[in-house]
């Protein structure tokens, strides 16, 4: 297989579970389940279909004769009719009632919905695992002061755990969106060539009451609550748009987190897991590149852009259907899912193995903290008898001098020494250093983490205990 293109999504990134969901085997087994559901429904509603025919169909639901279908497709150039033919070869008694009254979209579109629903279940499970692992990280480092940034310029301190809750909250939004869209998915049902169920009107001799029962029965047999009430030949391609937007949302959240981690790894404050024998660079043996986070960002961009495909496809459909959706859909939907599957596996790996370096964090924070502590220092100086307005001006001047020493001369921040040497402050260096406790400047960061985890995150994890298994019991 080295003489032809192989998709990196299946070769390098996506899990076996996700690959199976979009495999030919899953697709064609689902076709057969749909044909069985249709035959059972038609029998229950009065068509002359025997139990023997149904049992014959069930006996061959999984042992698909692929070679027969492939040879037939070479002749007739139609995938659905080739599989109808192959199924009929295995089920001679039921041959005449397979696909009765249905169009190709009965198996094609219903299967697409079923496959996306299964794929969303796997994505949800992995997303919940990432949320669980991130919540553990946030809890572990909720009190670790760190320098916060706005515009990537030093700002007021926060904590490592509080910063992680920013990532966590976005993933929780994605989970909410996923559960809403997943819970609203419906089947196409069996509505015929233009969505009018004309073929069933013929089969059931105009019995409207009986025809109304077809879609609800099929939906129930296939594990869905309902079918879309109206359609053309296909379900609305707006459905694909909604689903891919969920994936793009997760990709955006993962990208933001991975970017932050890459920046923090540059600062040597936080580092993604690095294996014992891993090589960071072919030229620079000392390097430890954030390759997993970079891969998350790379795949995330692909998914975000990929979401445009179903949106444009939905917008450009003609009347009851055109076929310009088919080739695009065959690429964009599976690849979006395979990519986000790989992204979530990477996110879990990164978060699970994140290494935090408190000494480096403290050193950078302490280098900037004197500037941030100036308001507290000024208040202490006022208490010692100083004039607030005069002290404010002196702190401004001394801060500029200390900043110049750092930027132009490459010296350490000596603002405290400059203030201690100024008699207008009447504060010793020891007194000033007492004001340099970082926990005085992190505000309510720790309390916010505790409240967020207790009131928002843990109830969500409690709802997903079965997906998380033993870990949820420990954490929640």
Residues annotated as catalytic are 151, 281
Q: Distance between CA atoms of 23 and 265, rounded to whole angstroms?
A: 38
Which of helix, strand or coil describes residue 324?
A: coil
Helix, strand, coil percentages in the chain from 3-state DSSP, rounded to 5: 65, 5, 30
Q: What is residue 410's DSSP assignment?
A: -
Q: Which helix (H) or strand (E) holds 320?
A: none
- With H, G, I as helix, E, B as strand and everything else as coil, classify residue 270: strand
**Quick one: which of 89, 92, 113, 120 has its CA closest to 33?**
113
CA distance 302 to 308: 11
The runs of H, that is alpha helices, within 45-159 are: 51-59, 66-76, 79-90, 104-140
Q: What is the dihedral of CA 214, 218, 221, 227, to 10 degrees?
A: -120
- Angle between helix 104-140 and helix 326-352 axes, rounded to 10 deg: 20
Give DSSP secondary structure letters for 179-233. HHHHHH--B--S--SSSS-HHHHHHTTT-HHHHTTHHHHHHHHTT-S-B-S--SS
Q: Name the nearest CA neighbour of 364 among 160, 138, 218, 228.
A: 160
Radius of gyration of the chain measured on its C-alpha atoms: 31
**Cβ-contact 316, 238 below 8 angstroms:** no
> Cβ contacts of residue 395 below 8 Å, gap of 6+?
374, 377, 378, 419
Cα–Cα distance between 176 and 171 in angstroms, integer?
A: 9
SS3 150: strand
Structure tokens, 362: 């403290």
Computed from CA positions of residues 158, 160, 162, 167, in that sequence, does the dihedral angle turn out positive or negative? positive
DSSP letters spanning 442-471: STTHHHHHHHHIIIIIHHHHHHTHHHHTHH
Quick check: 343 and 17 in contact, CB under 8 A? no
């Amino acid at each position: 297989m080295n003489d032809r293109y192989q998709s990196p999504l299946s070769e390098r990134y996506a899990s076996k579970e996700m690959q199976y969901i979009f495999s030919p085997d899953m697709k064609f087994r689902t076709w057969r389940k749909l044909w069985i559901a249709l035959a059972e429904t038609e029998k229950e509603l009065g068509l002359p279909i025997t139990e023997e025919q149904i049992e014959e169909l069930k006996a061959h639901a999984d042992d698909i004769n692929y070679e027969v279908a492939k040879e037939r497709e070479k002749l007739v150039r139609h995938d659905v009719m080739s599989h109808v033919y192959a199924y009929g070869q295995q089920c001679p008694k039921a041959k005449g009632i397979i696909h009765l009254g249905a169009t190709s979209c009965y198996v094609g579109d219903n299967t697409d919905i079923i496959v996306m629903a299964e794929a969303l279940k796997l994505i949800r499970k992995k997303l919940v695992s990432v949320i669980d692992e991130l919540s553990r990280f946030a809890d572990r480092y909720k009190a670790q002061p760190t320098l916060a940034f706005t515009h990537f310029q030093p700002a007021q301190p926060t904590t490592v755990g509080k910063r992680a809750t920013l990532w966590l909250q976005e993933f929780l939004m994605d989970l909410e969106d996923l559960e809403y869209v997943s819970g609203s998915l419906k089947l196409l049902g069996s509505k015929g060539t233009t969505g009018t169920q004309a073929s069933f009107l013929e089969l059931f001799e105009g019995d409207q009451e009986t025809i109304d029962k077809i879609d609800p029965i099929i939906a129930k047999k296939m594990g869905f609550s309902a079918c879309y009430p109206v359609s053309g030949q296909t379900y609305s391609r707006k459905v694909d748009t909604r689903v891919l937007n969920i994936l793009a949302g997760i990709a955006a959240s993962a990208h933001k987190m991975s970017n932050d981690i890459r920046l923090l790894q540059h600062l040597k404050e936080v580092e993604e897991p690095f294996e014992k024998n891993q090589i960071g660079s072919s030229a620079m043996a000392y390097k430890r590149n954030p390759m997993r986070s970079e891969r998350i960002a790379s795949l995330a961009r692909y998914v975000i852009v990929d979401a445009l495909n179903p949106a444009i496809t939905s917008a450009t459909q003609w009347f009851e259907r055109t076929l310009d959706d088919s080739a695009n859909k065959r690429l964009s939907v599976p690849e979006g899912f395979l990519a986000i599957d790989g992204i979530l596996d990477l996110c879990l790996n990164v978060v699970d193995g994140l290494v935090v370096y408190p000494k480096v964090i403290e050193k950078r924070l302490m280098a900037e903290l004197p500037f941030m502590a100036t308001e507290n220092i000024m208040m202490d100086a006022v208490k010692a008898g100083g004039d607030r307005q005069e002290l404010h001006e002196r702190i401004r001047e001394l801060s500029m001098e200390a900043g110049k020493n750092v930027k132009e001369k490459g010296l350490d921040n000596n603002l405290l020494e400059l203030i201690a040497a100024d008699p207008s402050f009447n504060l010793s260096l020891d007194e000033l250093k007492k004001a340099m406790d970082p926990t005085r400047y992190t505000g309510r960061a720790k309390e916010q983490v505790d409240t967020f985890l207790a009131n928002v995150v843990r109830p969500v994890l409690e709802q997903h205990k079965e997906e998380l298994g033993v870990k949820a019991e420990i954490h929640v």
